[in-house]
Amino acid sequence: MSEAIETIEGWYALHDFRRIDWTRWRGLSETERQAALDAMHSIVSAYQPSSPDAGSFGLYSILGHKADLLFCHFRPDPKTLGEFETMLDKSPLGLVLTRPYSYFSVVELSKYLARGISEDQIHTTLKRRLEPAIPDRPYVCFYPMNKRRQGSDNWYMTTREERRELMKNHGIIGHKYHEDVIQIITGSQGLDDWEWGVTLFANDPLPFKKLIYEMRFDEASARFADFGPFYVGSRLAVQDLAQLLS
């Protein structure tokens, strides 16, 4: 049996994608629309953490047909994420929103990163990575992924040393883009349909393309990675959303 790599978990994450039902929105009265806009202001305000230790939140406008909005949350308590979902669903704004996709996971780091760090120090030394603040960058890219389990390309049947070497080379490519792209990895085995979620942040969407393309040639991706749908969007202020809907 191949040896599993221990992981370190941090905050829980919810990527809550929503689509606006424009036909239904146009059918609302002016009073109903204003109630939805007022509710939206209240909800986004409630989503903002009371302190950096309470979590992180970002609102994004998604490009393309897959979704219109992304409510991106990182929180210490998964119960809070469920409360946020329900708050939006029950609101007047929720009447004109559908949910094409969502992803529930938890921030995850490999214990490779904790070599030389005692168990007592792990969550203090790696706090910034385990409890991430959403970067102040205007673009986001999210995608889920699996490690392949097919024949000789079965990630889970490789040795610990093989996986360490593969991920080392994988990390070398990622480091080339560390100034352009900030990455948050979340694990979802047993929590959602994919095994990991990858959230990238940048000042321009082009580095997303360049990074992902170069990664395709790395053995860890070329042999062992299966990717889900990609969602790309731009940061949205609450007043921008109001303008979009008004």
Catalytic residue set: 143
Scanning the structure block, which residue is given the tokens 């385990």? 130
Contact, 112 vs 167, CB < 8 A? yes
How far apart (Å, rounded) are the C-alpha atoms in residues 191 and 82? 14
Q: What is the 3-state secondary structure (H, E, C) of the chain?
A: CCCCCCEEEEEEEEEEEEEECHHHHHCCCHHHHHHHHHHHHHHHHHHCCCCHHHCEEEEEEECCCCCCEEEEEEECCHHHHHHHHHHHHHCCHHHHEEEEEEEEEEEEEEHHHHCCCCCCCHHHHCHHHHCCCCCCCCEEEEEEEEECEECCEEHHHCCHHHHHHHHHHHHHHHHHCCCCEEEEEEECCCCCCCCEEEEEEECCCHHHHHHHHHHCCCHHHHCCEEECCCEEEEECCHHHHHHHHC
Please tell me the distance from the alpha carbon of residue 96 to that of residue 18, in angstroms, as a whole number: 10
Given a contact cutoff of 8 angstroms between Cβ atoms, the answer to whether 31 and 233 are in contact is no
